[in-house]
Structure 1
Amino acid sequence: MPGTVWTGTISFGLVSVGVRMYSARERHGPTVHQFVRGTNARVRYQRVNEDTGERVANEDIVKGAEVDESDSYVLLEPADLEQIQPGRSKTLEITGFISADDVDPLWFSSTYYLGPDKSSAKPYRLLLAALEESGRAGLGTLVMRNRQHLALVTPQQGVLTASTLYWPDEVRDPEDVMRPPTGEVDQGELKLASQLIDAMTAEWEPSRYSDEYERRLEELIATKARGGTVSYEGREPEEKGEGKVVALDDALRASLRQRREKRAARSGRRGGAPAPRSSDDHRPTKGELMEQAKKLDIPGRSRMTRDELADAVADAG
């Protein structure tokens, strides 16, 4: 059970809901450290005085900010920073409700699950149902880890979530970093591109996607720990940005043709006569494949889909 990252109250109007906040995301995979080559000695970083090279104790370190380009700094003592802290409020005060669709994903920073405390189940369910029915999201602020955050409260998968948002001055205008393309779009190419998008449109199924690099890293570590070696000969080469230039409309037509051929091949496989299945021709479930994967010590098995487990078990066997 993950620990709480914040405990407090959601308030809207005169209604209060006691909640506990949990991180909605987590990272997986092995942690890779730095070592001196040929040894088991870890590489460590230390705080040192850049003028003398001597180590500096934590109590002798203060923060500072550069005020101009002439290496001039203002040093800030802990007491200076303490007086400007946003306070230790434990309330996420909703100051208004907006359409959740109005907030572009560009503004989202981190997302957390909100669970009710023991005495707030009823108002929690009420707020959840009201947001689901209205299609609205609550907008407010909260203080977490000594920082003030703009937050959006929304219903997700039967629970409330709070997403911290970037402040307006933190989101760049695209024209600040690039020059947006100009010019007319060829209508024929636009039609082909729309057809290609339609042909490639599918349902959002997160389980279909996996982190191939992480899986290979786990496999590499496990194999080297056993004294073996791993070689991935099928790795795609890096693109050099050179080679034959293909006309955009030709590339679109070729892509459409390729998608149609794949669809026809799949339809042909489904439409063909199925091979006879004997009474003992059992298609293993994901749970059964997981048990086999455990026995075979297949790395990354916990994040594999059923088909990926079947392939991994077959390869290992």
Structure 2
Amino acid sequence: MPDVLLGADLGTSGLKLVALDAAGTVVAQAERGYEYGRPAPGRAEIDVRTWCAALDGAVAAVGPALAGTRVRSLGISGQMHGAVLVDGDGAALRPALLWPDQRGAPELARWRELPAGDRAALGNPLVAGMTGPLLAWLCRHEPDALRRAAAVLLPKDALRATLLPGSDPAVTDRSDASATLLWDVVADHWSPAAVAAAGIDPALLPVVRPSEEVVGSARLPVGEVPVVVGAADAPLALLAAGAAGPAQVNLGTGAQLLRPGGRPRPSADPLVHAYADTTGGWYAMAALQNGGSAWEWARGVLGLSWAEFVTAAAAARPAPEGCSSGPS
């Protein structure tokens, strides 16, 4: 019976699932798209059950191709930042807040007021959609939800928790933890000062485990499958590419420029992000929130399918050198 590995990527606008054999050859793959909610300007959230339905649909789609194989494990990569409040069984208590959400912007003042050493040890620009500021917003505006929560999870951890009922859901990995504005990148652990700024009980924070550690076994249509902790999508893209070259560009709903290697330094006002990778190291990242989301907007305005949009873009003639490609 041949062995296969399953990998799921929990994106902002869709979930992708791939099955690989021992040689890394793709055996089967599936994708399920979805949209996140925008209940008000500057807000971005989604019902965790939408993620679950997408994973269920993708697993069902690849099931026939995996007949006669043995699925050795499932790993989940996921969109970074955001915040999901869950109960002791891992069930979400409210829709997940996502990285494009801006409601935490006023709460960033709490991070600016940190003692200089504590602020510098975070080693990252202050961004409203990171977990810390979103939790600070919840603390101010939805304290009852926080009081009922057993843990706060990152998106991929929340999806994994739904697969492992009865197990402790409060687990994440270093790559996701380091991108929360709650992580001391110099000491490489949770920052007590930043956690206090968010106004949450430190007991809500997940335990940090290695990405490859098995944390439970999920009963899926393809069998009983061990599930590993997983990691954030950007560092896993670096891992998949072999971290080759001086830089790497990732294009998704957002866009990121990543530079592997190096070690984060204390900085009160850094220009780029400093995040943990999946191998015990670090990478620097510059990011834009409107990568693929801008393409999605343009496609909708033009009334084109994705296939039509890509075809039209490929057929477009570049503007003459030195000329504007459109009206100023």
TM-score calculated relative to the size of structure 1: 0.21
TM-score calculated relative to the size of structure 2: 0.21
Structure showing the higher helix proportion among its residues? 1
Greater CA radius of gyration, 1 or 2? 1
